Chains A and B, each alone.
Chain A
Amino acid sequence: MAMMDELHVSLSPRLSAVRSLAQMVEEFGDANKLPDQQIYMINLALDELITNTVSYGLRGVTRPRIEITLQVGETSLALTMEDNGQPFDPTANPDPDLSSAVDERPVGGLGLHLIKTFADRVNYEYVNGKNRLTLEHDLTPEAR
């Protein structure tokens, strides 16, 4: 199979879109020989980000759009998500307390924390009426 180093998907913003996208990401990951852990983390991030955006950010937007781009470079993997919803900076969200006991542990806030923890670099900007979030994961030489 030929190497495909970029996957670009324009989604109609529905919760069910996460499923078909996950399938495409897995195929893209396999074709590029990405480690299972990387593919899993990308799909974990997409599930969280798309759910948040569809449920909150894009509510009431006339022509809602979500654009997903995955790029494999020599040393890193980059996931970019753009949407034309309400401005929302996930990097500004406070981290949950991960040391608290079962009774005190809050049930929310986990997804964004996992995304930020797993990515080596996270960048958010709001430009031309769009949120743009980029997550970069370094690839180890053995993984390529």
Chain B
Amino acid sequence: MDIEVAEERDGGALVLLPIGRLDSANARSFESIVMERVGSGEQRLLVDFSRLNFISSSGMRVLLMAAKKLHASQGKLVLCAMPDHIHEVFRISGFDQIIPIRDTRESALADA
């Protein structure tokens, strides 16, 4: 199953906006989009959560893979505009300690 992902260029960063639900059914589709962008040389990647209402651990796994790959090439992944219920899961899993999460697109761009 494919996920719908809007893409925007903001400053020098690529912003990905996954839409709706990112779960085990479409995590592979999201993985191929994200890893293709990282593989083609994007160094500043933002994932904007404002249009996402559900992410499962399989979706979080994709973000971790991207963060690892970008970290290895001195690039950066920053997440932003996360709904409270999703932010809580990132906090409990410790993901907020290894992937920066910002409230707004603006502050995320400043950090990416």
A, B from the same assembly: yes
Our pick among A40, A98, A111, A114 for the contact of B54 (Cβ within 8 Å) is: A40
Q: Does B72 contact A (CB under 8 A)?
A: yes
Residues of B within 8 A of A22 (CB): 21, 23, 54
* Shortest CB distance A37–B (Å): 5
Is the beta-carbon distance between A48 and B57 smaller than 8 angstroms?
yes
Is the beta-carbon distance between B98 and A15 smaller than 8 angstroms?
no
Segment at the interface with B among A2-10, A64-72, A80-88, A99-107: A99-107
A44 to B58, CA, bound (A): 10
Q: Does B68 contact A (CB under 8 A)?
A: yes
Interface residue SS majority, chain A:
helix
Size band of the B side of the interface? 20 to 34
Size band of the A side of the interface? 20 to 34
Is the beta-carbon distance between B65 and A18 smaller than 8 angstroms?
no
Is the beta-carbon distance between A44 and B25 smaller than 8 angstroms?
no
Binding site for B on A (CB under 8 A): 15-16, 18-19, 22, 36-37, 40-41, 43-44, 47-48, 51, 98-99, 101-103, 105, 107-108, 110-111, 113-114, 117-118
A105 to B89, CA, bound (A): 17
Is the beta-carbon distance between A110 and B99 smaller than 8 angstroms?
no
Known: A37-B85, A44-B89, A48-B57. A107 touches B24 (CB 8 A): no
Is the beta-carbon distance between A102 and B25 smaller than 8 angstroms?
no
Is the beta-carbon distance between A105 and B68 smaller than 8 angstroms?
yes
Is the beta-carbon distance between A47 and B64 smaller than 8 angstroms?
no
* Shortest CB distance A90–B (Å): 13
A102 to B99, CA, bound (A): 8
Residues of A within 8 A of B54 (CB): 22, 40, 43
